[in-house]
Structure 1
Protein backbone atom coordinates (compact mmCIF):
# COMPACT_ATOMS: atom_id res chain seq x y z
CA UNK A 1 0.00 0.00 0.00
CA UNK A 2 1.31 3.46 -0.87
CA UNK A 3 -0.49 5.84 1.50
CA UNK A 4 1.57 8.85 0.49
CA UNK A 5 3.75 9.29 -2.59
CA UNK A 6 7.08 10.17 -1.06
CA UNK A 7 9.14 13.12 -2.30
CA UNK A 8 12.63 12.25 -3.50
CA UNK A 9 14.39 13.45 -0.35
CA UNK A 10 12.16 11.18 1.77
CA UNK A 11 12.95 8.17 -0.43
CA UNK A 12 16.66 8.89 -0.05
CA UNK A 13 16.36 9.39 3.72
CA UNK A 14 14.48 6.09 4.02
CA UNK A 15 17.33 4.26 2.33
CA UNK A 16 19.96 6.04 4.46
CA UNK A 17 17.93 5.22 7.56
CA UNK A 18 17.86 1.57 6.54
CA UNK A 19 21.66 1.50 6.29
CA UNK A 20 21.89 2.85 9.83
CA UNK A 21 19.24 0.59 11.37
CA UNK A 22 20.77 -2.54 9.83
CA UNK A 23 24.33 -1.58 10.84
CA UNK A 24 25.52 -1.37 7.24
CA UNK A 25 26.90 1.95 8.43
CA UNK A 26 28.58 1.62 11.81
CA UNK A 27 28.56 4.07 14.73
CA UNK A 28 30.88 7.03 14.10
CA UNK A 29 31.45 5.89 10.51
CA UNK A 30 31.56 8.72 7.99
CA UNK A 31 28.86 8.41 5.34
CA UNK A 32 29.50 9.23 1.66
CA UNK A 33 29.78 12.90 0.75
CA UNK A 34 26.80 14.82 -0.59
CA UNK A 35 28.23 14.66 -4.11
CA UNK A 36 28.79 10.91 -3.84
CA UNK A 37 25.21 10.44 -2.64
CA UNK A 38 23.98 12.54 -5.56
CA UNK A 39 25.65 10.07 -7.92
CA UNK A 40 24.43 7.01 -6.01
CA UNK A 41 20.76 8.11 -5.99
CA UNK A 42 20.83 10.21 -9.17
CA UNK A 43 19.29 13.21 -7.42
CA UNK A 44 20.24 16.83 -6.84
CA UNK A 45 22.43 18.07 -4.01
CA UNK A 46 19.44 19.92 -2.53
CA UNK A 47 17.56 16.61 -2.32
CA UNK A 48 20.50 14.87 -0.63
CA UNK A 49 20.96 17.73 1.82
CA UNK A 50 17.28 17.62 2.82
CA UNK A 51 17.52 13.87 3.35
CA UNK A 52 20.57 14.25 5.57
CA UNK A 53 19.01 17.16 7.47
CA UNK A 54 16.04 14.95 8.29
CA UNK A 55 18.25 12.22 9.78
CA UNK A 56 20.28 14.79 11.70
CA UNK A 57 17.03 16.08 13.22
CA UNK A 58 16.09 12.49 14.15
CA UNK A 59 19.43 12.08 15.90
CA UNK A 60 20.69 9.34 13.59
CA UNK A 61 23.48 11.39 12.00
CA UNK A 62 25.73 14.21 13.15
CA UNK A 63 27.91 16.67 11.25
CA UNK A 64 31.50 17.70 11.94
CA UNK A 65 32.23 21.02 10.35
CA UNK A 66 34.73 20.85 7.49
CA UNK A 67 35.01 17.07 7.99
CA UNK A 68 31.75 15.34 7.07
CA UNK A 69 28.63 13.56 8.34
CA UNK A 70 28.78 10.58 10.69
CA UNK A 71 26.49 7.93 12.21
CA UNK A 72 25.43 8.76 15.75
CA UNK A 73 25.42 6.13 18.47
CA UNK A 74 21.79 5.15 19.16
CA UNK A 75 22.35 5.23 22.93
CA UNK A 76 23.07 8.96 22.69
CA UNK A 77 19.44 9.51 21.73
CA UNK A 78 18.24 8.08 25.08
CA UNK A 79 16.61 4.73 25.64
CA UNK A 80 13.92 3.94 23.13
CA UNK A 81 10.45 2.98 24.21
CA UNK A 82 9.96 -0.72 24.88
CA UNK A 83 8.29 -2.73 22.12
CA UNK A 84 4.58 -2.91 22.91
CA UNK A 85 1.64 -4.41 21.10
CA UNK A 86 -1.22 -2.18 20.03
CA UNK A 87 -3.41 -3.70 22.75
CA UNK A 88 -0.81 -2.89 25.42
CA UNK A 89 -0.51 0.68 24.16
CA UNK A 90 -4.26 1.19 24.23
CA UNK A 91 -4.53 -0.24 27.73
CA UNK A 92 -1.83 2.18 28.85
CA UNK A 93 -3.85 5.04 27.35
CA UNK A 94 -7.02 3.86 29.08
CA UNK A 95 -8.68 2.85 25.81
CA UNK A 96 -10.51 -0.39 25.12
CA UNK A 97 -9.68 -1.10 21.50
CA UNK A 98 -9.63 -4.22 19.40
CA UNK A 99 -8.97 -5.49 15.88
CA UNK A 100 -11.85 -4.67 13.55
CA UNK A 101 -10.32 -6.35 10.53
CA UNK A 102 -7.17 -8.33 9.71
CA UNK A 103 -5.94 -9.66 6.38
CA UNK A 104 -2.74 -11.60 5.70
CA UNK A 105 -1.27 -12.39 2.29
CA UNK A 106 2.00 -13.13 0.53
CA UNK A 107 3.12 -10.44 -1.90
CA UNK A 108 6.30 -9.72 -3.91
CA UNK A 109 8.60 -7.34 -2.06
CA UNK A 110 8.92 -3.85 -3.46
CA UNK A 111 12.35 -2.21 -3.50
CA UNK A 112 11.51 -0.33 -0.32
CA UNK A 113 10.28 -3.40 1.58
CA UNK A 114 13.16 -5.53 0.27
CA UNK A 115 15.59 -2.97 1.67
CA UNK A 116 14.03 -2.93 5.12
CA UNK A 117 13.69 -6.72 5.34
CA UNK A 118 17.11 -7.38 3.81
CA UNK A 119 15.73 -9.55 1.01
CA UNK A 120 15.51 -9.42 -2.78
CA UNK A 121 13.04 -7.37 -4.81
CA UNK A 122 10.01 -9.49 -5.78
CA UNK A 123 10.83 -12.16 -3.20
CA UNK A 124 7.59 -13.17 -1.39
CA UNK A 125 6.99 -11.47 1.96
CA UNK A 126 4.09 -11.53 4.40
CA UNK A 127 1.85 -8.47 4.36
CA UNK A 128 -0.45 -8.07 7.36
CA UNK A 129 -3.04 -5.29 7.16
CA UNK A 130 -5.09 -4.55 10.28
CA UNK A 131 -7.73 -2.00 11.21
CA UNK A 132 -8.18 -1.13 14.90
CA UNK A 133 -10.90 0.74 16.71
CA UNK A 134 -13.74 0.68 19.21
CA UNK A 135 -17.48 0.15 18.97
CA UNK A 136 -17.60 3.78 17.76
CA UNK A 137 -15.47 3.08 14.70
CA UNK A 138 -11.95 2.68 13.34
CA UNK A 139 -9.13 4.99 14.32
CA UNK A 140 -5.92 3.15 13.34
CA UNK A 141 -4.58 1.19 10.38
CA UNK A 142 -1.36 -0.89 10.42
CA UNK A 143 0.41 -2.06 7.26
CA UNK A 144 3.03 -4.64 8.35
CA UNK A 145 5.64 -6.62 6.41
CA UNK A 146 7.84 -9.53 7.51
CA UNK A 147 9.68 -12.41 5.85
CA UNK A 148 7.81 -15.55 4.89
CA UNK A 149 8.16 -18.64 7.02
CA UNK A 150 6.27 -21.90 6.63
CA UNK A 151 5.31 -21.82 10.30
CA UNK A 152 3.38 -18.54 9.94
CA UNK A 153 -0.34 -18.89 9.34
CA UNK A 154 -1.90 -17.60 6.13
CA UNK A 155 -5.34 -17.60 7.76
CA UNK A 156 -6.37 -14.03 8.58
CA UNK A 157 -8.36 -15.07 11.63
CA UNK A 158 -5.09 -15.99 13.39
CA UNK A 159 -4.02 -12.33 13.37
CA UNK A 160 -6.89 -10.71 15.26
CA UNK A 161 -5.01 -10.97 18.56
CA UNK A 162 -1.70 -9.37 19.53
CA UNK A 163 0.82 -9.79 16.72
CA UNK A 164 3.76 -9.87 19.14
CA UNK A 165 2.07 -12.50 21.29
CA UNK A 166 1.55 -14.53 18.13
CA UNK A 167 5.28 -14.27 17.39
CA UNK A 168 6.06 -15.30 20.97
CA UNK A 169 4.37 -18.63 20.27
CA UNK A 170 7.26 -19.36 17.87
CA UNK A 171 9.92 -18.26 20.35
CA UNK A 172 10.33 -14.87 18.66
CA UNK A 173 10.71 -11.95 21.05
CA UNK A 174 10.85 -8.54 19.39
CA UNK A 175 13.47 -6.74 21.45
CA UNK A 176 14.85 -4.03 19.17
CA UNK A 177 12.89 -1.11 17.78
CA UNK A 178 13.60 1.97 15.72
CA UNK A 179 10.77 4.27 14.73
CA UNK A 180 9.82 7.78 13.78
CA UNK A 181 6.56 9.73 13.71
CA UNK A 182 5.32 12.34 11.28
CA UNK A 183 2.06 14.13 10.45
CA UNK A 184 0.41 13.40 7.09
CA UNK A 185 -2.89 13.83 5.31
CA UNK A 186 -4.83 10.74 4.21
CA UNK A 187 -5.08 9.56 0.62
CA UNK A 188 -8.27 8.08 -0.84
CA UNK A 189 -7.67 4.57 0.47
CA UNK A 190 -6.91 5.70 4.01
CA UNK A 191 -9.94 8.00 3.99
CA UNK A 192 -12.08 4.98 3.17
CA UNK A 193 -10.46 2.71 5.77
CA UNK A 194 -10.72 5.22 8.63
CA UNK A 195 -13.87 7.02 7.43
CA UNK A 196 -12.21 10.44 7.47
CA UNK A 197 -12.03 13.34 5.04
CA UNK A 198 -8.97 14.62 3.19
CA UNK A 199 -8.29 17.34 5.76
CA UNK A 200 -8.16 15.04 8.80
CA UNK A 201 -4.72 15.11 10.49
CA UNK A 202 -3.15 11.65 10.54
CA UNK A 203 -0.25 10.51 12.71
CA UNK A 204 2.03 8.22 10.72
CA UNK A 205 4.34 6.02 12.76
CA UNK A 206 6.99 4.05 10.89
CA UNK A 207 8.39 1.13 12.89
CA UNK A 208 11.31 -1.22 12.21
CA UNK A 209 11.69 -4.05 14.73
CA UNK A 210 13.69 -7.24 15.01
CA UNK A 211 14.70 -10.06 17.33
CA UNK A 212 18.41 -9.46 17.94
CA UNK A 213 19.03 -12.63 19.95
CA UNK A 214 21.64 -14.98 18.57
CA UNK A 215 20.24 -17.25 15.89
CA UNK A 216 17.08 -15.21 15.35
CA UNK A 217 16.37 -13.55 12.02
CA UNK A 218 12.95 -11.94 12.47
CA UNK A 219 12.48 -8.40 11.14
CA UNK A 220 9.33 -6.32 10.82
CA UNK A 221 8.59 -3.13 8.92
CA UNK A 222 5.29 -1.38 9.70
CA UNK A 223 3.57 1.83 8.71
CA UNK A 224 0.93 2.70 11.29
CA UNK A 225 -1.68 5.41 10.72
CA UNK A 226 -3.76 6.95 13.52
CA UNK A 227 -6.50 9.57 13.45
CA UNK A 228 -4.71 12.46 15.11
CA UNK A 229 -7.50 13.35 17.51
CA UNK A 230 -7.79 9.75 18.75
CA UNK A 231 -4.21 8.89 19.62
CA UNK A 232 -1.29 10.25 21.64
CA UNK A 233 2.26 9.00 21.29
CA UNK A 234 4.32 8.90 24.49
CA UNK A 235 8.08 8.46 24.77
CA UNK A 236 9.52 7.43 28.11
CA UNK A 237 13.18 8.17 28.69
CA UNK A 238 15.11 6.50 31.48
CA UNK A 239 18.55 7.32 32.82
CA UNK A 240 21.10 4.73 31.62
Structure 2
Protein backbone atom coordinates (compact mmCIF):
# COMPACT_ATOMS: atom_id res chain seq x y z
CA UNK A 1 0.00 0.00 0.00
CA UNK A 2 1.27 3.48 -0.89
CA UNK A 3 1.76 5.74 2.14
CA UNK A 4 0.89 9.22 0.87
CA UNK A 5 -1.63 11.99 1.35
CA UNK A 6 -2.50 15.05 -0.74
CA UNK A 7 -1.14 18.19 0.93
CA UNK A 8 -2.95 20.39 -1.61
CA UNK A 9 -6.35 18.89 -0.82
CA UNK A 10 -8.99 20.84 1.10
CA UNK A 11 -9.51 17.74 3.29
CA UNK A 12 -7.69 18.26 6.63
CA UNK A 13 -4.47 16.29 7.01
CA UNK A 14 -5.65 14.40 10.11
CA UNK A 15 -8.77 13.25 8.23
CA UNK A 16 -6.66 12.05 5.30
CA UNK A 17 -4.37 10.23 7.74
CA UNK A 18 -7.37 8.68 9.42
CA UNK A 19 -8.76 7.46 6.08
CA UNK A 20 -5.37 6.03 5.15
CA UNK A 21 -5.24 4.14 8.45
CA UNK A 22 -8.76 2.78 7.91
CA UNK A 23 -7.58 1.30 4.61
CA UNK A 24 -4.32 0.10 6.12
CA UNK A 25 -5.99 -1.95 8.87
CA UNK A 26 -7.99 -3.89 6.27
CA UNK A 27 -4.74 -5.49 5.10
CA UNK A 28 -4.73 -9.21 6.06
CA UNK A 29 -1.21 -8.82 7.51
CA UNK A 30 -2.39 -6.23 10.02
CA UNK A 31 -5.61 -8.14 10.66
CA UNK A 32 -3.39 -11.07 11.66
CA UNK A 33 -1.68 -9.01 14.35
CA UNK A 34 1.26 -7.28 12.61
CA UNK A 35 2.12 -3.96 14.25
CA UNK A 36 1.32 -0.81 12.29
CA UNK A 37 4.30 1.24 11.03
CA UNK A 38 6.15 3.19 13.71
CA UNK A 39 4.55 6.62 14.35
CA UNK A 40 7.79 8.53 13.69
CA UNK A 41 8.47 6.73 10.41
CA UNK A 42 4.88 6.98 9.20
CA UNK A 43 4.68 10.69 10.02
CA UNK A 44 7.88 11.27 8.00
CA UNK A 45 6.55 9.29 5.02
CA UNK A 46 3.33 11.30 5.06
CA UNK A 47 5.19 14.58 5.67
CA UNK A 48 2.94 15.45 8.58
CA UNK A 49 3.60 16.08 12.26
CA UNK A 50 3.38 13.28 14.84
CA UNK A 51 0.64 15.33 16.54
CA UNK A 52 -1.47 15.21 13.36
CA UNK A 53 -0.87 11.48 12.93
CA UNK A 54 -1.60 10.80 16.59
CA UNK A 55 -4.92 12.66 16.25
CA UNK A 56 -5.92 10.18 13.54
CA UNK A 57 -4.70 7.17 15.54
CA UNK A 58 -6.49 8.35 18.70
CA UNK A 59 -9.76 8.50 16.76
CA UNK A 60 -9.43 4.83 15.74
CA UNK A 61 -8.33 3.82 19.24
CA UNK A 62 -11.46 5.53 20.59
CA UNK A 63 -13.56 3.56 18.08
CA UNK A 64 -11.82 0.38 19.34
CA UNK A 65 -10.42 -0.34 15.88
CA UNK A 66 -6.83 0.03 17.06
CA UNK A 67 -4.99 -0.88 20.25
CA UNK A 68 -1.94 1.10 21.36
CA UNK A 69 0.46 -0.42 23.89
CA UNK A 70 3.39 1.34 25.49
CA UNK A 71 6.82 0.29 24.20
CA UNK A 72 5.16 -2.20 21.80
CA UNK A 73 3.29 -0.17 19.21
CA UNK A 74 -0.14 -0.01 17.62
CA UNK A 75 -2.07 -2.91 16.16
CA UNK A 76 -5.53 -3.76 14.84
CA UNK A 77 -8.04 -4.62 17.56
CA UNK A 78 -9.66 -8.03 17.20
CA UNK A 79 -13.50 -8.07 17.08
CA UNK A 80 -14.89 -8.58 20.55
CA UNK A 81 -16.62 -11.84 21.39
CA UNK A 82 -20.03 -11.33 22.97
CA UNK A 83 -21.87 -13.30 25.61
CA UNK A 84 -25.58 -12.80 26.34
CA UNK A 85 -26.73 -13.74 29.80
CA UNK A 86 -30.32 -14.22 28.67
CA UNK A 87 -29.37 -16.99 26.25
CA UNK A 88 -27.75 -19.39 28.70
CA UNK A 89 -25.84 -22.21 27.01
CA UNK A 90 -22.49 -23.82 27.51
CA UNK A 91 -19.68 -21.56 26.31
CA UNK A 92 -19.03 -23.78 23.27
CA UNK A 93 -22.69 -23.76 22.23
CA UNK A 94 -22.92 -20.01 22.80
CA UNK A 95 -19.94 -19.26 20.58
CA UNK A 96 -21.07 -21.75 17.91
CA UNK A 97 -24.41 -19.92 17.76
CA UNK A 98 -22.40 -16.83 16.77
CA UNK A 99 -20.39 -18.70 14.15
CA UNK A 100 -17.21 -18.74 16.25
CA UNK A 101 -15.23 -21.97 16.36
CA UNK A 102 -13.72 -22.44 19.81
CA UNK A 103 -10.21 -23.77 20.31
CA UNK A 104 -8.93 -25.31 23.55
CA UNK A 105 -5.41 -24.02 24.18
CA UNK A 106 -5.11 -25.86 27.50
CA UNK A 107 -7.27 -28.43 29.29
CA UNK A 108 -6.38 -29.85 32.71
CA UNK A 109 -8.32 -32.17 35.01
CA UNK A 110 -7.33 -32.76 38.62
CA UNK A 111 -8.77 -33.84 41.97
CA UNK A 112 -8.50 -31.26 44.75
CA UNK A 113 -9.75 -30.60 48.26
CA UNK A 114 -12.28 -27.73 48.18
CA UNK A 115 -11.66 -24.60 50.22
CA UNK A 116 -14.26 -23.54 52.80
CA UNK A 117 -16.16 -21.33 50.34
CA UNK A 118 -16.61 -24.05 47.71
CA UNK A 119 -17.33 -26.73 50.33
CA UNK A 120 -20.08 -24.53 51.81
CA UNK A 121 -21.57 -23.93 48.37
CA UNK A 122 -21.70 -27.67 47.68
CA UNK A 123 -22.59 -28.47 51.31
CA UNK A 124 -19.80 -31.03 51.56
CA UNK A 125 -16.78 -31.48 53.81
CA UNK A 126 -13.40 -30.02 52.90
CA UNK A 127 -11.91 -33.52 53.28
CA UNK A 128 -13.87 -34.72 50.23
CA UNK A 129 -11.93 -34.37 46.97
CA UNK A 130 -13.76 -32.87 43.99
CA UNK A 131 -12.99 -32.65 40.30
CA UNK A 132 -11.37 -29.43 39.08
CA UNK A 133 -11.45 -28.57 35.37
CA UNK A 134 -9.21 -25.83 33.95
CA UNK A 135 -9.58 -24.67 30.37
CA UNK A 136 -7.85 -21.92 28.41
CA UNK A 137 -10.09 -21.17 25.45
CA UNK A 138 -10.42 -18.81 22.51
CA UNK A 139 -10.80 -18.56 18.77
CA UNK A 140 -8.30 -19.53 16.09
CA UNK A 141 -6.26 -16.36 16.66
CA UNK A 142 -5.92 -16.11 20.43
CA UNK A 143 -6.94 -17.41 23.84
CA UNK A 144 -9.29 -14.92 25.48
CA UNK A 145 -10.81 -16.72 28.47
CA UNK A 146 -9.53 -18.93 31.27
CA UNK A 147 -12.14 -21.09 33.03
CA UNK A 148 -11.87 -22.97 36.32
CA UNK A 149 -14.77 -25.29 37.22
CA UNK A 150 -15.40 -27.37 40.34
CA UNK A 151 -18.08 -30.09 40.33
CA UNK A 152 -20.19 -31.64 43.07
CA UNK A 153 -19.12 -35.27 43.72
CA UNK A 154 -22.79 -36.27 43.41
CA UNK A 155 -22.48 -35.96 39.61
CA UNK A 156 -20.17 -38.96 39.49
CA UNK A 157 -17.48 -37.55 37.22
CA UNK A 158 -14.46 -39.82 36.81
CA UNK A 159 -12.07 -37.43 35.08
CA UNK A 160 -12.00 -39.62 31.96
CA UNK A 161 -14.84 -37.74 30.26
CA UNK A 162 -14.27 -35.86 27.01
CA UNK A 163 -14.30 -32.29 28.30
CA UNK A 164 -13.78 -30.98 24.78
CA UNK A 165 -17.49 -31.60 24.24
CA UNK A 166 -20.07 -28.93 25.20
CA UNK A 167 -20.00 -29.29 28.98
CA UNK A 168 -23.69 -29.27 29.91
CA UNK A 169 -24.60 -31.47 26.96
CA UNK A 170 -21.99 -34.00 28.11
CA UNK A 171 -23.22 -33.91 31.73
CA UNK A 172 -26.79 -34.51 30.62
CA UNK A 173 -26.01 -37.29 28.13
CA UNK A 174 -23.42 -39.17 30.20
CA UNK A 175 -24.43 -38.45 33.80
CA UNK A 176 -28.13 -37.54 33.55
CA UNK A 177 -27.45 -34.21 35.24
CA UNK A 178 -29.35 -31.28 33.75
CA UNK A 179 -28.05 -27.75 34.31
CA UNK A 180 -31.15 -25.67 34.90
CA UNK A 181 -30.23 -22.45 36.70
CA UNK A 182 -27.21 -20.15 36.61
CA UNK A 183 -26.55 -17.37 39.10
CA UNK A 184 -23.71 -15.06 38.23
CA UNK A 185 -21.53 -12.37 39.75
CA UNK A 186 -19.61 -10.15 37.34
CA UNK A 187 -16.85 -7.72 38.22
CA UNK A 188 -13.68 -6.15 36.88
CA UNK A 189 -10.26 -6.88 38.30
CA UNK A 190 -6.60 -6.49 37.49
CA UNK A 191 -4.79 -9.54 36.15
CA UNK A 192 -2.34 -11.09 38.59
CA UNK A 193 0.84 -12.81 37.41
CA UNK A 194 -0.88 -16.19 36.89
CA UNK A 195 -3.87 -14.88 34.88
CA UNK A 196 -1.67 -12.46 32.92
CA UNK A 197 0.49 -15.42 31.92
CA UNK A 198 -2.50 -17.49 30.82
CA UNK A 199 -4.10 -14.72 28.73
CA UNK A 200 -0.75 -13.28 27.54
CA UNK A 201 -1.47 -9.79 28.83
CA UNK A 202 0.42 -7.42 31.09
CA UNK A 203 0.16 -7.85 34.86
CA UNK A 204 -2.46 -5.38 36.07
CA UNK A 205 -4.36 -5.36 32.77
CA UNK A 206 -8.17 -5.25 33.12
CA UNK A 207 -9.94 -8.60 33.21
CA UNK A 208 -13.67 -9.31 33.25
CA UNK A 209 -14.14 -11.73 36.16
CA UNK A 210 -17.28 -13.86 36.36
CA UNK A 211 -18.40 -16.30 39.03
CA UNK A 212 -21.10 -18.72 37.91
CA UNK A 213 -23.09 -20.88 40.34
CA UNK A 214 -24.89 -23.65 38.47
CA UNK A 215 -27.83 -25.68 39.84
CA UNK A 216 -29.64 -28.77 38.54
CA UNK A 217 -33.40 -29.20 38.11
CA UNK A 218 -33.75 -29.93 41.80
CA UNK A 219 -32.06 -26.61 42.67
CA UNK A 220 -29.04 -28.54 43.93
CA UNK A 221 -25.58 -26.99 43.34
CA UNK A 222 -23.66 -28.86 40.66
CA UNK A 223 -20.88 -26.55 39.41
CA UNK A 224 -18.89 -23.62 40.74
CA UNK A 225 -17.24 -21.83 37.83
CA UNK A 226 -14.76 -18.97 37.58
CA UNK A 227 -14.13 -17.19 34.28
CA UNK A 228 -11.36 -14.69 33.51
CA UNK A 229 -11.98 -12.89 30.22
CA UNK A 230 -9.44 -10.77 28.34
CA UNK A 231 -11.13 -7.34 28.45
CA UNK A 232 -9.91 -6.18 25.03
CA UNK A 233 -11.37 -9.27 23.31
CA UNK A 234 -14.65 -9.84 25.10
CA UNK A 235 -17.79 -8.04 26.17
CA UNK A 236 -20.61 -9.37 28.33
CA UNK A 237 -24.15 -8.31 27.38
CA UNK A 238 -27.07 -8.57 29.79
CA UNK A 239 -30.49 -8.52 28.19
CA UNK A 240 -33.63 -8.32 30.29
CA UNK A 241 -37.30 -7.68 29.72
CA UNK A 242 -39.47 -5.61 32.03
CA UNK A 243 -42.51 -7.45 33.35
CA UNK A 244 -45.65 -5.75 34.55
Does residue 111 of the first structure (1) align with residue 128 of the second (2)? no
Deviations 1:77-103 (A, max 9, x none): xxx734311112223445332322211
Task: Give the conservation status (yes or no) of the 8 Å contact 1:83–1:175.
Answer: no
Task: Give the conservation status (yes or no) of the 8 Å contact 1:83–1:174.
Answer: no
Paired residue for 2:145, among 140, 149, 170? 140
Shift of 1:151: 3.8
| Alignment TM-score, normalising by the size of structure 1 | 0.60
Shift of 1:218: 4.8
Paired residue for 1:159, among 159, 163, 179? 163
Report the counterpart of residue 184 of structure 1 in structure 2. Answer: 189
Identify unmatched segments of 5+ residues in structure 2: 1-84
Deviations 1:8-62 (A, max 9, x none): xxxxxxxxxxxxxxxxxxxxxxxxxxxxxxxxxxxxxxxxxxxxxxxxxxxxxxx
Deviations 1:110-152 (A, max 9, x none): 1111112111123211111111012222110011111225742
Which of 1 and 2 has greater Rg? 2
Deviations 1:139-177 (A, max 9, x none): 10011111225742313x611121111111122111111
Shift of 1:203: 0.3
The CA distance in 1 between the partners of 2:94 and 2:199, in whole Å, is 19
Paired residue for 2:201, among 184, 190, 196? 196
Moved over 6 A (4+): none
The CA distance in 2 between the partners of 1:85 and 1:110, in whole Å, is 25
SS at match of 1:123: coil
Task: Give the conservation status (yes or no) of the 8 Å contact 2:177–2:216.
Answer: yes
Paired residue for 1:174, among 162, 179, 183? 179
SS at match of 2:202: coil
Sort the Cα spacing of 1:93 and 1:200 in 2 relative to 1 into closer, same or farther, 3 A: farther
Identify unmatched segments of 5+ residues in structure 1: 1-79
RMSD across aligned C-alpha pairs, in angstroms? 2.1
Shift of 1:239: 4.4
